[in-house]
């Protein structure tokens, strides 16, 4: 079904990491779910298309959440006084075990997807739990929401406690294959992603099996890397054969290259790990709010950007309590200032332009041409009404966008589009 249209307003998008394009009172054109570009006058061939005049509102690309845990939404804002491993055992694993119940999964996931629909997020890469039925429910809800997502059934065959552990590597792989078979071809906007939780949760046998599956089905992979010093020490104990955490994934072929990979956090990185991420083009999901809440540390994002490592932002719901990627942009800027001041004064803090890039085009690249209004990009857009953020002085459009990063919430998002589909 054709759904071509034009939005008129104050259009902002990233061209490059440090170049924000601002087009005041111009037109962005959606044809077949993709941007046909931004124009000061409507070109001849698009003259017949309906034009929606957004007045003085801002029009920006939709935001990309590169790392979130849907089942953890239920306990957002709780347990923020612990570090990673304690937090997992005290709050996370007991909550995730409840998703064995389809009734509970449906109730809780409905709440998460409703929130995501209202938020600034148009695309997300999401962990479910190890339970197949619950994961399918999450995929169905996301598909119905109109959002675009990757969803992973989590693999974990060790260290999950009696209620959140698959009985064996074989059983975990069997369940993963069943999940893939039962969801194959069922969704238009939701895709599967292999999801070994992290090295401490997965035996070598399981990782080998997942690597085979990855090669066979050409699936992407998501996991966690170097979040917390205690976690890293544990990985060293569990994998005495490798010299660092990255190698614990790489030894199985689950670390970029032919295997599109997102690693969340990447805080405590050794030099040769950074080199490997660059060579293998492993995506970093930078989750600054989570990293502050669990006292994990401050990721070297400036390094990632200057090395050309693909990087985006993640909420890491619920170690991060906010679904907002505008909020993640503000957090990323603030964290980078602390790193510059306290850790390494050769690595200058992130600018607003860079943070905006990370939350749109940076993370969007994992989905293809996503996160910009340049010609050929998926038409993911937010219309932002900032008229209730009072100011006595005149502000430029760029300044207004900066204030949205710091001051906006869901109420400022009046409309939202994913690949040209209106979802809010
Ligand atoms: Zn996570």
pLDDT tens track, the chain, 424 positions: 568 999 999 999 999 999 999 999 999 999 999 999 999 999 999 999 999 999 999 999 999 999 999 999 999 999 899 999 999 999 999 999 999 999 999 999 999 999 999 999 999 999 999 999 999 999 999 999 999 999 999 999 999 998 999 999 999 999 999 999 999 999 999 999 999 999 999 999 999 999 999 999 999 999 999 999 999 999 999 999 999 999 999 999 999 999 999 999 999 999 999 999 999 999 999 999 999 999 999 999 999 999 999 999 999 999 999 999 999 999 999 999 999 999 999 999 999 999 999 999 999 999 999 999 999 999 999 999 999 999 999 999 999 999 999 999 999 999 999 999 999 9
- Do 298 and 278 reside in the same domain of the chain? yes
Cα 386 to middle of ligand 1, angstroms:
32
Contacts with 127 (C-beta within 8 Å, 6 or more apart), sequence order: 68, 69, 70, 71, 152, 154, 195, 197, 222
Cα 82 to middle of ligand 1, angstroms:
15
Cα 84 to middle of ligand 1, angstroms:
10
From 146, 216, 222, select the one nearest 187 (Cα to Cα).
146
Give the pLDDT confidence score for residue 216 in this predicted structure.
98
Beta-sheet strands, E only, within 74-193: 121-127, 148-152, 154-155, 190-192
Cα 126 to middle of ligand 1, angstroms:
9
Cα 290 to middle of ligand 1, angstroms:
8
Parallel, antiparallel or unpaired: strands 190-192 and 221-225: unpaired
- Do 323 and 396 reside in the same domain of the chain? no
Beta-sheet strands, E only, within 128-238: 148-152, 154-155, 190-192, 195-196, 221-225
- Do 347 and 248 reside in the same domain of the chain? yes
Give the pLDDT confidence score for residue 416 in this predicted structure.
98
Q: Is 22 helix (H, G, I), strand (E, B) or coil?
A: strand
- Do 349 and 392 reside in the same domain of the chain? no
Domain total in the chain: 2
Domain span at residue 386 reads: 5-61+371-422
111 is written with which tokens? 């709440």
Cα 328 to middle of ligand 1, angstroms:
14
- Do 144 and 86 reside in the same domain of the chain? yes
Q: Which residues surround ligand 1, an ion (CB under 5 A)?
A: 264, 316
Give the pLDDT confidence score for residue 3 in this predicted structure.
85
CATH (domain of 145): 3.20.20.140
10 Å CB burial of residue 34 (0-12, 13-18, 19+) is middle
Cα 316 to middle of ligand 1, angstroms:
5
Cα 265 to middle of ligand 1, angstroms:
8
N-terminal to C-terminal alpha carbon distance within the chain: 19
CATH (domain of 390): 2.30.40.10
Give the distance from CA 411 to its chain's centroid: 21
- Do 44 and 98 reside in the same domain of the chain? no
- Do 146 and 112 reside in the same domain of the chain? yes
DSSP 271-330: HHHHHHHHHHTPEEEE-HHHHHHTT-----HHHHHHHT--EEE---BTTB----HHHHHH
Contacts with 64 (C-beta within 8 Å, 6 or more apart), sequence order: 121, 122, 123, 124, 312, 313, 325, 359, 360, 362, 363, 364, 366, 367, 370, 371
Give the distance from CA 86 to its chain's centroid: 24
- Phi first, then psi, for residue 152 (nearest 5°) are -120, 130
């Amino acid at each position: 079904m054709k759904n071509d249209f034009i939005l008129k307003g104050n259009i902002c998008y990233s061209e490059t990491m440090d170049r924000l394009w601002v087009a005041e009172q111009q037109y962005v054109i959606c044809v077949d779910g993709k941007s046909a570009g931004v124009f000061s006058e409507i070109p001849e061939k698009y003259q017949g298309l309906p034009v929606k005049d957004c007045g003085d509102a801002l029009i920006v690309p939709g935001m990309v959440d590169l790392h979130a845990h849907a089942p953890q939404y239920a306990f957002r804002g709780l347990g923020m006084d612990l570090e990673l491993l304690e937090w997992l055992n005290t709050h996370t694993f007991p909550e995730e075990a409840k998703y064995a119940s389809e009734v509970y999964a449906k109730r809780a996931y409905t709440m998460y997807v409703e929130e995501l629909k209202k938020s600034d997020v148009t695309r997300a890469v999401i962990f479910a739990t190890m339970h197949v039925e619950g994961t399918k429910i999450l995929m169905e809800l996301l598909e119905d929401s109109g959002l675009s997502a990757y969803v992973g059934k989590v693999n974990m065959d060790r260290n999950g406690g009696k209620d959140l552990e698959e009985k064996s590597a074989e059983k975990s792989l069997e369940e993963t294959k069943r999940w893939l078979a039962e969801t194959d071809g069922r969704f238009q906007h939701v895709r599967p992603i292999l999801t070994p939780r992290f090295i401490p949760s997965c035996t070598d046998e399981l990782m080998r099996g997942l690597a085979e599956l990855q090669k066979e089905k050409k699936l992407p992979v998501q996991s966690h890397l170097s979040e917390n010093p205690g976690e890293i020490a544990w990985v060293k104990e569990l994998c005495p054969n490798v010299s660092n955490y990255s190698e614990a994934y790489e030894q199985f072929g689950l670390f970029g290259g032919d295997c599109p990979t997102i690693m969340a956090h990447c805080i405590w990185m050794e030099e040769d790990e950074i080199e490997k991420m660059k060579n293998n083009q492993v995506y970093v999901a930078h989750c600054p709010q989570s990293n502050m809440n669990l006292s994990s540390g401050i990721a070297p994002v400036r390094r990632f950007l200057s090395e050309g490592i693909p990087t985006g932002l993640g909420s890491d719901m619920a170690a991060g309590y906010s679904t907002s990627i505008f909020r993640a942009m503000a957090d990323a800027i603030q964290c980078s200032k602390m790193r510059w001041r306290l850790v390494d004064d050769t690595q200058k803090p992130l600018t607003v332009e860079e943070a905006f890039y990370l939350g749109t085009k940076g993370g969007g690249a994992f989905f293809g041409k996503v996160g910009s209004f340049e010609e050929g990009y998926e038409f993911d857009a937010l219309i932002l009404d900032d008229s209730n953020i009072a100011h006595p002085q005149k502000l430029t459009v760029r300044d207004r966008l900066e204030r949205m990063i710091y001051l906006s919430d869901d109420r400022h998002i009046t409309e939202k589009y994913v690949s040209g589909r209106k979802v809010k």
